[in-house]
């Protein structure tokens, strides 16, 4: 039977570590960490995610401020809000919830966020730093995948990793993280996408199969090598319930480790967002050297 990679419990452990860090450093830092969350429009899943983020901040002592703006918000107004938040000393992180409403392109806004406040790691400079192996703030979901493996003692080093999906938010940064040097990464990485021929054959080569394609239960047991580690990064709403991009029940008997959906990678995203916010706060308040 496989190890079930429990993202819910792992994320809770990380949040409790972060809560201790905030409690220990706030007096010396002179203020608590601050996170600004911007939500444009009415996308229901985004509204839920933003509420979760606000709740998680409150739980560990991070001050969060949410800015909920209508889909009709002019671009100039959103830019001006980001500029104001860039200048606010009490805000360590700025997060623009994606997707933006139709007609609003995300790149100009993501590129406007100060890189030292880019807790989502989506700024071109943050992505460039990741690709170059330089320190910086990393995108939360792929970093959550790496942290989940780390905490379960799964080393990708020397293994074949296959990433299905090439999004800027997950697939692309995850491929960079897996291929980076170092004992916690160092995998040989293949990135698959909608243009990949013989996807099932490529997936079967994976020791570590990471799936972020947004198609419910698309990856079936016949596409998985027995003994593989399967990390399901998809969250799909089907008939009122949630399921991943992998057929969990079918794959479970042959995998060596597998993430459930929900309760796998999902909760890790917010834990890493909090970790990034605290990292930014420590840098802004000169606390980076403190324990
Ligand atoms: N939409 C889906 N995932 C994310 C995320 O990690 N950050 C932001 N800002 N928006 C998202």
Is 53 tagged catalytic?
yes
Is 116 tagged catalytic?
no
Q: How confident is the model at residue 289 (pLDDT cuts 50, 70, 90)?
A: confident
pLDDT at 155 over 90: yes
Q: How confident is the model at residue 164 (pLDDT cuts 50, 70, 90)?
A: very high
Ligand 1 atom nearest to 97, measured from its CA? 9
Spatial distance between the Cα atoms of 85 and 112, rounded to a whole number of angstroms? 11
pLDDT at 291 over 80: no
Mutate which of 38, 44, 97 for ligand 1 pocket (most atoms within 8 A of beta carbon): 97
pLDDT at 217 over 90: yes
Is 47 tagged catalytic?
no
Sequence spans of domains, the chain: 30-117, 140-266
CATH 1.20.120.160 fits domain 140-266: no
pLDDT at 160 over 90: yes
Identified catalytic residue from 6, 53, 118, 172: 53
Find the mean pLDDT for residues 137-151.
98
Ligand 1 atom nearest to 98, measured from its CA? 10
CA 67 to chain centre: 21
Classify residue 182 by burial, with Cβ atoms within 10 Å: 0-12, 13-18, 19+: exposed
**Is residue 236 within 8 Å of residue 165, measured between CB atoms?**
no
Identified catalytic residue from 6, 92, 118, 120: 120
DSSP letters, 210-252, are EE-S--TT-B-GGGS-TT-EEEE---EEETTEEE-SB-HHHHT
Our answer on whether the CB atom of 120 is closer than 6 Å to any ligand 1 atom is yes
CA 273–ligand 1 middle distance (angstroms): 10
pLDDT at position 42: 96
CA 179–ligand 1 middle distance (angstroms): 23
DSSP letters, 10-41, are HHHHHHHHHHHHHHHHHHHHSS--EEEEEEES
pLDDT at position 290: 78
Domains 30-117 and 140-266 equal at CATH topology level:
yes
**pLDDT tens digits, 27-43:** 999 999 999 999 999 99
User: How many residues are recorded in the chain?
Assistant: 291
**Which residue has the least CA distance to atom 2 on ligand 1?**
98
Spatial distance between the Cα atoms of 118 and 111, rounded to a whole number of angstroms? 9
CA 1–ligand 1 middle distance (angstroms): 33
CA 169–ligand 1 middle distance (angstroms): 7
Strand, coil or helix: 124: helix
> How many Cβ atoms from other residues are within 10 Å of residue 50's Cβ?
20
pLDDT at 84 over 90: yes
pLDDT at position 281: 98
pTM: 0.98
pLDDT at 174 over 90: yes
> How many Cβ atoms from other residues are within 10 Å of residue 128's Cβ?
12
**pLDDT tens digits, 175-215:** 999 999 999 999 999 999 999 999 999 999 999 999 999 99
CATH topology of domain 30-117: Rossmann fold (3.40.50)
CA 173–ligand 1 middle distance (angstroms): 13
Identified catalytic residue from 6, 97, 117, 279: 97
**pLDDT tens digits, 236-279:** 999 999 999 999 999 999 999 999 999 999 999 999 999 999 99
Average pLDDT, whole number, for the chain? 97
Mutate which of 56, 109, 120, 267 for ligand 1 pocket (most atoms within 8 A of beta carbon): 120
CA 27–ligand 1 middle distance (angstroms): 31
pLDDT at position 252: 98
pLDDT at position 73: 97
pLDDT at position 116: 98
Our answer on whether the CB atom of 167 is closer than 6 Å to any ligand 1 atom is no
């Amino acid at each position: 039977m496989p190890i079930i990679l429990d993202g819910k419990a792992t994320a809770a452990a990380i949040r409790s570590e972060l809560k201790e860090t905030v409690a220990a450093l706030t007096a010396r830092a002179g203020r608590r960490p601050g996170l600004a969350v911007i939500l444009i429009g009415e996308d229901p899943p985004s509204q839920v995610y933003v509420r979760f983020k606000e709740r998680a901040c409150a739980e560990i002592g991070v001050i969060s401020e949410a800015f909920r703006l209508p889909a009709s918000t002019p671009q100039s107004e959103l830019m001006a809000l980001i500029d104001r938040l860039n200048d606010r000393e009490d805000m360590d992180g700025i997060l623009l919830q994606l997707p933006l409403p139709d007609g609003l392109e995300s790149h100009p806004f993501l590129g406007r966020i100060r890189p030292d406040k880019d807790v989502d790691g989506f700024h071109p400079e943050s992505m460039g730093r990741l690709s170059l192996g330089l320190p910086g703030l990393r995108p939360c979901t792929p970093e959550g995948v790496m942290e989940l493996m780390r905490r379960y003692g799964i080393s990708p080093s020397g293994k074949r990793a296959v990433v299905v999906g090439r999004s800027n938010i997950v697939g692309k940064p995850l491929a960079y993280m897996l291929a980076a040097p170092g004992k916690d990464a160092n995998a040989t990485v293949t990135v698959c996408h909608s243009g990949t021929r013989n996807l099932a054959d490529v997936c079967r080569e994976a020791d570590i199969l990471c799936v972020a394609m947004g198609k419910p239960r698309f990856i079936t047991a016949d596409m998985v090598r027995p003994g593989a580690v399967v990390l399901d990064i998809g969250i799909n709403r089907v008939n009122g319930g949630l399921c991943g991009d992998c057929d969990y029940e079918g794959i479970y008997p042959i995998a060596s480790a597998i993430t459930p959906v929900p309760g796998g990678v999902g909760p890790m995203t917010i834990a890493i967002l909090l970790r990034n916010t605290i990292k930014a706060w420590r840098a802004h308040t000169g606390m980076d050297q403190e324990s």
